[in-house]
Structure 1
C-alpha cells in the first residue's frame, strides 16, 4: 500500500484582511490544489483562541505529489489574488511529508495540532501507534495521525515561497488529534506531553494548538453540472 502524504499550513492574517483571505482560500487557492492530480482532500481550521490564525491540512495519495510537475506549476504561477494577499501573511509555517500513523477512521469538529522536534531520533511506527492509542481512550477523541516532515520537499523553492518570509517546516513530526468538541481537544492537550514522551523517545520539544473546522473539500464529490 502506498504511503499517503500531507501538506500542512499555518497562517495568520490581519483582521482587516480576514474576509478577503478566507474568500481567496475557498474560491481560488484551495481549489487550485485540491483538483490537481494526487490530492485527496483538505480541511481549513481556525484557532479557537485567535480567529485570525488558521491551520490547513491536505491529504495526498503519496508524498511525491508535492514534488510532481502539476503542483510545482501551481507554486510557480501565483495568481494576481495570490500575489496581493501572500505578501500580507503574518506568522506562517508550512510542511510536507508522509503519514506515519493513523488511528481511527473519522474526523472531529475540533483538532489538537502539535509540531514536534525529535532531533536525530526517528519514530518507530509500531511503538508510536501503541502509545498514541492513549488519545483514543480519552472522552470525545475519535482519531489520531502522526505525520513526518520531509525537509527536502518542504524546502523546494518556488515563486510563492519567495513572497513569504521565515523558516518553514523546522520540525520533525506533526501530530493531529481529532475530537468531537473543544472540550475533547482540550482533554487531549492535557495529556499531550505524557503521551508524546511514550510515543517519541527522543522528544525535544512540542507546541499545541486547538482549532475548529470551518471549511473542507473532497474532489471526488465534485459539483452538480
Structure 2
C-alpha cells in the first residue's frame, strides 16, 4: 500500500496566534480533523509542527480522489462553520492552501517527520521533463536511510474553486502550485536528503523554483475507521 491514501490531497500551511495555540490544538483534535474524516471520501488527516522553516503548522488531508475533497458533505461543513471555528480561524496568518492530485507516491506507512517543499515550475520549461526529473528524485529518495515515504502533489485548482465558492472564510488564502513531501523516521536523515537531492540549485536545474521549505514533526493523525 502506498503511503498516501487515495489520489486527492488538501494541504494547509499556517501560523497561529500564540494566544489561541492551545485552543487551536484541541479544536483540531476534537472537531476539525475528525469531522472531515467522518463525512466520507476523506481517508486520513495529519497535523505537523515546524522544526525548521515556516509557517509553524502543516495540515494534510488525504481523500479517495481530488473531487472527493469537495464532496457535498465537505461543502456543507465549510459553508456554515461554528463561532469557535470563526474565532480560531481569525487567529490564522501566513496561510497557504490548495487542493491537489497525487501525481506520484512511494512508501508504506507514516514517518515521524516530514520535509515540505512548495514548488513552482519554471516558465517555459518542458512540463513532462520537469515532472520526470522530480519523480526520479523521489525514487532516489526512497533508497536513502530511514526515508519511509516520498510524494509529489500537483495542484487541482478546479476543486479549490468549488470549495471557495461556498467558503465562509479562507477564500483569499495563498495558493500552492506543487508540493513534494518526504517522510522519514529522523530529522537528520531529511537534512541529509535535502543536501543530497533537493537543494534549491538542484531543483532549479530540474525546472523548479522553490517557494518554501520546512521540516515538520507529526503531532497527530486520524484516519477513517477500519483503515
Same fold, TM-score > 0.5, yes or no: yes
**Equivalent of 2:32 in 8, 29, 35:** 29
Query: Are 1:6 and 1:57, in contact at CA under 8 Å, matched by a contact in 2?
Result: yes
Q: 1:51 to 1:133 in 2, by over 3 A?
A: closer
Which residue does the alignment assign to 1:219?
224
Q: Of residues 1, 13, 17 in structure 1, which corresponds to 2:16?
A: 13
- Where in structure 1 are there 5+ consecutive unaligned residues? none
Greater fraction of residues in strand: 2
CA distance in 1, matches of 2:202, 2:149: 14
| Compared CA separation, residues 197 and 107, structure 1 to 2 (3 A) | farther
- Whole-Å Cα distance in 2 between the matches of residues 38 and 30 of structure 1? 13
Residues 183-192 or 138-147, more deviating: 183-192
Q: TM-score, normalised by structure 2?
A: 0.85
Whole-Å separation in 2 of the counterparts to 1:52 and 1:119? 24
Task: Give the conservation status (yes or no) of the 8 Å contact 2:54–2:213.
Answer: no
Q: How many equivalent pairs are there?
A: 217
2:213 to 202, 208, 211: 208
The answer on whether the counterparts of 1:34 and 1:219 sit within 8 Å (CA) in structure 2 is yes
Question: Is it true that 1:64 corresponds to 2:67 in the alignment?
Answer: yes
Residue of 108, 113, 122 corresponding to 2:127:
122
Whether the 8 Å CA contact 1:100–1:146 is kept in 2: the answer is: yes
Match of residue 110 from structure 1: 113
1:82-93 alignment runs, 5 A limit: 82-93=85-96
Counterparts of 2:68 and 2:171, CA distance in 1: 24
SS at match of 1:208: strand
Q: Kindly indicate whether the alpha-carbon contact (under 8 Å) linking 2:113 and 2:184 is maintained by their aligned counterparts in 1.
A: yes
1:182 aligns with 2:187: yes
**Structure 2 unaligned blocks of 5 or more:** none
Q: Could you say what the CA RMSD is over the residues aligned between the two structures, in angstroms? A: 2.5
